Structure 1
């Protein structure tokens, strides 16, 4: 049969069933936010807390939140039995607070970038435990460097630094990416020596350390606003992530 232009149209023979339309798979409709649930939950939590502080809480309430949930080294100079239990939860709760929208946005971007590969590798529950431990490690080094000072630290930068350190053990280096693509599995966790011998990892660590040394000497950092930056907490978190990821890694039989 031909149409008006004279070209022939192919029609199925009478009685033949039309071919079914191809099934649509999940890959045809990729998710808008391709982030693990753990990262989405963390982002929702820190953003939700900031929204409450910025739009709902009064100034007096925000001051109370900062004192009761921000981390301060001076708290540990006093007998723990003579104060509230804030000394117990502030080494973790400070990581959920942010002092400005710029601070929040900057940390959220880095959390999505480096938290995603770590969370996918170790799983949601281990990611939660990793967040708690790395937050405590970052606060511990900050307290050691600033012992007795009445400073107040907030922000997830120490945890994000730990995620960066952890990513150095498996996410960098061409050899690791090729192995993952060919095997369809997570790349093997590099030992500390293997990671340091990888040129990509070395360059990343050197640049990261130089940036924090510059911060220690007073160079302002994007995303910090006018507040001082706890560079020591960054280093504490990074060291925890780099040296201790194997304790959280389900693909490692023993720490390297």
Structure 2
């Protein structure tokens, strides 16, 4: 998972607090692709955009796409009314672009892995809103850290980091929560304190942050390319996902079962 920058105490609740997973399918009729529609559409979109850039656009047009749809901190140094509206859409559009096939493939794998449980839990509409907000959050921290830099950032990994942070609030945990997910229930959302009290969540967060701190000090990331990696966008996305996921979760505060 990487964004590329170019030269421009455990929670153990009763079963009656578990929320049924919407759209659960019977074991007798499993889906051909075990991915929700929202994830399949997102994968098709980012792969389709990359294919168009790679095989249909000229180098000059590709450069224009990168400038007009990639995120650049320097854009916000100039009066907004004296430039195009790219300042408005680039905090989101950059997340749909990728700088290489390796970059795209790596992010696609992480999107399928962590986007699937989140999308199943919150549904497609909320998933789109979560994508937009987490993309903006990742871009915002990247802009703060690199204020005024003439770089261009592309890649979905700020969003994927947010999905990882969101998953820490419900997808990890003790045996009861794992059995609930396997049986088609949605486990209740953990509070921030409950999530941090869970050993699995703590270990995941520590390893994740250490990896990104290592990137900040110049160490290469597994699956990374020769381009710089926007570790700050990763952190911005993760913090949004971990602390803000409750705002997108329709099961927050609900304790019902079918």
TM-score normalised by structure 2 residue count? 0.86
Q: Which residue of 1 aligns with 2:178?
A: 177
Q: CA deviation at 1:33?
A: 1.4
Q: Which residue of 1 aligns with 2:80?
A: 80
For residue 57 of structure 1, give the secondary structure of its aligned residue in structure 2: coil
Q: Which residue of 1 aligns with 2:48?
A: 48
Tell me how far apart the structure 2 counterparts of residues 76 and 239 of structure 1 sit (CA, whole Å). 23
For residue 225 of structure 1, give the secondary structure of its aligned residue in structure 2: coil
Q: CA deviation at 1:178?
A: 3.1
Are 2:108 and 1:122 aligned? Answer: no
Q: Which residue of 1 aligns with 2:15?
A: none
Tell me how far apart the structure 2 counterparts of residues 118 and 77 of structure 1 sit (CA, whole Å). 36
- Which whole-Å deviations, capped at 9, do the CAs of 1:230-255 have from their partners, x for residues lacking one? 0000000000000000000000139x
Q: Point out where structure 1 has 5 or more consecutive residues left out of the alignment.
A: 1-24
4+ aligned runs moved over 2 Å, structure 1: 25-32, 178-182
Higher strand share: 2
Tell me how far apart the structure 2 counterparts of residues 253 and 78 of structure 1 sit (CA, whole Å). 44
Tell me how far apart the structure 2 counterparts of residues 68 and 93 of structure 1 sit (CA, whole Å). 9
Q: Which residue of 2 aligns with 1:131?
A: 131
Q: How many residues of Structure 1 are paired with residues of Structure 2 in the alignment?
A: 229
Q: CA deviation at 1:224?
A: 2.4
Tell me how far apart the structure 2 counterparts of residues 204 and 52 of structure 1 sit (CA, whole Å). 36
> CA 1:61–1:170 in 2, change beyond 3 Å: closer, same or farther?
same
Larger Rg: 1
Q: Which residue of 2 aligns with 1:246?
A: 246
Q: CA deviation at 1:222?
A: 2.5
Tell me how far apart the structure 2 counterparts of residues 176 and 236 of structure 1 sit (CA, whole Å). 27
Are 2:66 and 1:66 aligned? Answer: yes
Tell me how far apart the structure 2 counterparts of residues 207 and 199 of structure 1 sit (CA, whole Å). 12
1:147-226 superposed matches below 5 A: 147-174=147-174, 175-181=176-182, 184-226=184-226
Tell me how far apart the structure 2 counterparts of residues 179 and 67 of structure 1 sit (CA, whole Å). 46
Q: CA deviation at 1:181?
A: 4.9
Q: CA deviation at 1:32?
A: 2.9
Q: CA deviation at 1:119?
A: 0.2
Tell me how far apart the structure 2 counterparts of residues 150 and 32 of structure 1 sit (CA, whole Å). 45
Tell me how far apart the structure 2 counterparts of residues 93 and 180 of structure 1 sit (CA, whole Å). 33
TM-score normalised by structure 1 residue count? 0.86
The answer to which structure, 1 or 2, has the higher relative contact order (CA under 8 A, 6+ apart) is 2
For residue 62 of structure 1, give the secondary structure of its aligned residue in structure 2: helix
> CA 1:54–1:181 in 2, change beyond 3 Å: closer, same or farther?
closer
Q: CA deviation at 1:26?
A: 7.1
> CA 1:250–1:26 in 2, change beyond 3 Å: closer, same or farther?
closer
Q: Point out where structure 2 has 5 or more consecutive residues left out of the alignment.
A: 1-24
Q: CA deviation at 1:180?
A: 4.1
